[in-house]
A = this chain, B = another copy of it.
Amino acid sequence: MADGPTINTIAERAGVSIASVSRVLNGLPTRQETVRKVMAAADELGYVRNAVARSLKSRRTHQVAFAMADVGNPAYLAMLREIQPVLKSAGYRLVLHSTDAVVADEIDVLHSLGERYVDGLIMSPLRVTEAHLELLAAARAPVVIIGSVPDGTRVDNVRADSGTGVRLAIDHLYALGRRRIAMVNGPLDTVPGAARGAAYREALGDLGLPYDDDLVQIGDFYRAEGARAVAELLARVPGVDALMCANDLIALGALDVLRAAGKRVPEDVAVVGMDDTDLAAASWPSLTSVSLGSAERGKVAAELLLDRLRGEGGEPRRVTVPPHLAVRASTSGPAHDRTPDPGHGDTDGRTDRKGSGA
């Protein structure tokens, strides 16, 4: 781990000036003889450019930060999976921040943009506060927000459309003949919880179905809480024939409880999840789930940011990625008669490629 060689070392060894070394290294016109000497010296010394010094001079780090709320959340991981290759192929390194769902940490990340250790930032905040907006307005590097920002905020942003997503699911259930469609939601004081709850109500209205408080159960976005919520719901409304769950974990909890209660899925009760995570394809019966396009949003965000990094100016852009419904066994047809369809889930096969090395 001796001190690495610099262009000075090379210059000495090759008997030329550091300017010539730099020229050769950057492919600028130089005499053949000089090129040879420099290359030889560089090779022998095992020279590698110092990225920090280059950055200081060029004012570009070739790094982009992605700030996610939670490294454990599959939705963010889906974004990450798409963002990574896009940035990589454009020559950028990815700096990963996990803000642990702490707003102060998000603010820190925004603030640290001023340190110029990255050329740009993609951020998926839980909630956009006043502090966010101020820092965004003053940001010294391009930022793309994945999520919604207030109208008028001058930032590129890529949003999901959970309203339409819920509607796709409800329409699907309705088309299957279900009429007592319940909603199992997470807390209403979260952005997704509120949005999904409202969308459910609207979708019912548009179909001419009555909104019934008894059919709505609030729990939390976890499996155990989902199970508990569904158990209560079932006790109150035994005749429910479909469950719209606010995420996949809740839906898994629902399957647990339905099974224990002797209900068949989907014959007696159809179940729909949201987010279309890997778990949806893995469960049994496999889970119909609303994809809000996390992967797509990540990809679009990365591309928007790259545009800015290429110097493209212009008005802030707002992209909405359409949701889609991944239909699986938990709603469509008699699951118990179906032959297994291992390749069904669209995420199968790219998970867990080789196990882990010994």
Contacts and interface: CB of A to CB of B under 8 A. Distances in A.
Interface stretch (A26-34, A171-179, A279-287): A279-287
A70 interface: yes
A103 interface: no
B56 A52 contact: yes
Copies assembled:
2
A279 B226 CA distance: 17
Contact of A138 (B46, B63, B140, B162): B46
Contacts of A186: 354-355
A266 interface: no
Contacts of A46: 114, 138
B124 A357 contact: yes
Interface in A103-123: 111-112, 114-117
Nearest to A161: B358
Interface in A315-358: 339-343, 348-358
Interface stretch (A15-23, A203-211, A234-242, A253-261): A253-261
Nearest to A281: B223
B352 A277 contact: yes
Given A56-B52, A115-B48, A70 B282 contact: no
Interface in A205-253: 221-224, 226-227, 246-249, 252-253
Which of A72, A93, A98, A222: most chain B Cβ within 10 A? Answer: A72
A274 B355 contact: yes
Nearest to A138: B46
Contact of A72 (B52, B69, B350): B350
A263 interface: no
A277 B72 CA distance: 12
Interface in A31-74: 46, 48-53, 55-56, 61, 63, 69-74
B221 A353 contact: yes
Interface in A121-143: 124-127, 138-141
Nearest to A59: B52
Contacts of A4: 114, 116, 140
Interface of A: 1, 4, 46, 48-53, 55-56, 61, 63, 69-77, 80-81, 84-85, 88, 93-98, 100-101, 111-112, 114-117, 124-127, 138-141, 146-148, 159-163, 186, 190-193, 195-196, 221-224, 226-227, 246-249, 252-253, 255-257, 259-260, 274-275, 277-279, 282-284, 292, 294, 339-343, 348-358
Given A75-B352, A223-B342, A274-B355, 12 more contacts: A69-B353, A71-B81, A84-B98, A93-B97, A161-B358, A163-B358, A192-B358, A196-B358, A222-B348, A223-B348, A249-B348, A249-B351
15 contacts: A1-B141, A46-B114, A48-B111, A48-B115, A50-B115, A70-B353, A73-B351, A124-B357, A146-B357, A160-B357, A161-B358, A190-B354, A192-B354, A248-B352, A255-B284
